[in-house]
Structure 1
Amino acid sequence: MAARLGHTIKATLFQVHSIAGLVLALLLALIALTGAVMSFEDEIVDHLNAGIMHVAPREMPALMPDELVARLKAGQDLGAVSAVTLSSDPAATVRVRFARDEQGTRPTSLYVDPYDAHVLGSPRGEEFFATVRRLHRWLLIPGDAKGWGRQITGVVAIGLIVMLVSGLVLRWPRRASSVKMWLKPNLGLSGRGLHRSLHAVIGTWVLPVYLVMALTGLWYAFDWYKDGVVWLLARPEVSAARMQPKMSAKPPRAAGHPEQARPIGFDQAWTTFQREEGGRFSRALLTLPAGPGTAIRIRSWAKGMTLEATRDEFRIDAVTGQLVSAERYVDKTFGEKTIAAIYDIHRGAILGWPGKLAFMIAAGLMPLFLVTGILLYLSRRKLRRPAQPPLGQLVPGE
Structure 2
Amino acid sequence: MHKSIWFQLHWFFGAIFGVLLLLIGVSGAVLSYEKEILNLINKDTYYVQNLDNKSRLEQSEVLKIYQENNIDTKINSISFSSLENSSIVLNIEKEGARKGLNIYLNPYTAEVLPQIVGKDFFMFFFSLHRWLTFSGDTQWIGKQLVAISTIVAIFLTIGGVVVYWPRIKANFLKSFTFSFKYKKRAFVSILHSSLGMWVVPFFIIMCITGLYWSYDWYRGAMFTVMGVEQPKRVSQKVEANNKPQTIVYDNISKSIEIFKQNVAKEYKNANLRLTPSKDGIYTISYLYANATHFRETNSMEIDPNSSLVVKDTKFEDKKLNEQLMASMLPLHSGEYFGWFGQLSYFISSFLMALFAITGYMLYYDRWKKKKAKALKEKVKS
- So what's the TM-score if we normalise by structure 2? 0.81
Q: Which residue of 1 aligns with 2:335?
A: 349
Rounded Cα–Cα distance in structure 1 between residues aligned with 2:122 and 2:248? 28
Q: Does 1:200 align with 2:193?
A: yes
DSSP-derived class of the 2:295 partner = helix
Residues 383, 213 of structure 1: alpha-carbon distance in 2 compared, 3 angstrom cutoff: same
DSSP-derived class of the 1:119 partner = coil
Rounded Cα–Cα distance in structure 1 between residues aligned with 2:121 and 2:180? 39
Q: Does 1:272 align with 2:255?
A: yes
Partner of residue 4 from structure 2, selected from 3, 11, 20: 11
Partner of residue 303 from structure 1, selected from 277, 289, 299: 289
Letter of the aligned partner of 2:345 in structure 1? Answer: F
Letter of the aligned partner of 1:334 in structure 2? Answer: L
Rounded Cα–Cα distance in structure 2 between residues aligned with 1:308 and 1:132? 20
Q: Which residue of 1 aligns with 2:64?
A: 67
Give the 5 Å matches for 1:228-243: 228-234=221-227, 239-240=228-229, 242=230
Rounded Cα–Cα distance in structure 2 between residues aligned with 1:146 and 1:316? 41
Unmatched 5+ stretches in structure 1: 1-6, 254-258
Residues 112, 330 of structure 1: alpha-carbon distance in 2 compared, 3 angstrom cutoff: same
Rounded Cα–Cα distance in structure 2 between residues aligned with 1:202 and 1:223? 33
* Deviation at residue 323 of structure 1 after TM alignment: 8.2
Q: Which residue of 2 aligns with 1:4?
A: none
Tell me if structure 2 keeps the 8 A contact 1:63–1:115: no
Q: CA offsets per residue over residues 349-388 of structure 1, 9 Å max, x none?
A: 2332232222211211111111111111112222222443
Please say which of residues 81-90 and 351-360 is displaced more in the overlay.
81-90
DSSP-derived class of the 1:301 partner = strand
Q: Which residue of 1 aligns with 2:105?
A: 112
Partner of residue 176 from structure 1, selected from 149, 166, 169: 169
Tell me if structure 2 keeps the 8 A contact 1:35–1:136: yes
Q: Which residue of 1 aligns with 2:369?
A: 383
Give the 5 Å matches for 1:1-398: 7=1, 9-52=2-45, 53-56=47-50, 58-59=54-55, 61-64=57-60, 66-71=63-68, 73=70, 81-102=75-96, 109-143=102-136, 147-173=140-166, 176=169, 178-234=171-227, 239-240=228-229, 242=230, 244=232, 246=234, 261-263=243-245, 265=247, 268=251, 271-272=254-255, 274-276=257-259, 278=261, 279-280=263-264, 282=267, 283-286=269-272, 298-313=284-299, 327-385=313-371, 386-388=373-375
Rounded Cα–Cα distance in structure 1 between residues aligned with 2:243 and 2:184? 70
Residues 320, 191 of structure 1: alpha-carbon distance in 2 compared, 3 angstrom cutoff: farther
* Deviation at residue 121 of structure 1 after TM alignment: 1.0
Tell me if structure 2 keeps the 8 A contact 1:199–1:369: yes
**Which structure features the higher share of helix residues?**
2
Q: CA offsets per residue over residues 178-209 of structure 1, 9 Å max, x none?
A: 13541122422222222211111111111111
RMSD over aligned CA atoms reads 3.9
Rounded Cα–Cα distance in structure 2 between residues aligned with 1:211 and 1:365? 14
Letter of the aligned partner of 1:73 in structure 2? Answer: N
Letter of the aligned partner of 1:59 in structure 2? Answer: S
Unmatched 5+ stretches in structure 2: none
Tell me if structure 2 keeps the 8 A contact 1:269–1:317: no
* Deviation at residue 336 of structure 1 after TM alignment: 1.1
DSSP-derived class of the 2:299 partner = strand
Count, aligned residues: 369
Residues 161, 99 of structure 1: alpha-carbon distance in 2 compared, 3 angstrom cutoff: farther
Tell me if structure 1 keeps the 8 A contact 2:292–2:336: no
* Deviation at residue 176 of structure 1 after TM alignment: 0.8
DSSP-derived class of the 1:84 partner = strand
Q: Which has the higher contact order (CA 8 A, sep 6+)?
A: 2
DSSP-derived class of the 1:123 partner = coil
Q: What percent identity do the matched residue pairs reach? A: 24
Residues 198, 145 of structure 1: alpha-carbon distance in 2 compared, 3 angstrom cutoff: same
- So what's the TM-score if we normalise by structure 1? 0.77
Q: CA offsets per residue over residues 225-265 of structure 1, 9 Å max, x none?
A: 2222222224xxxx34x2556488x9999xxxxx9745355
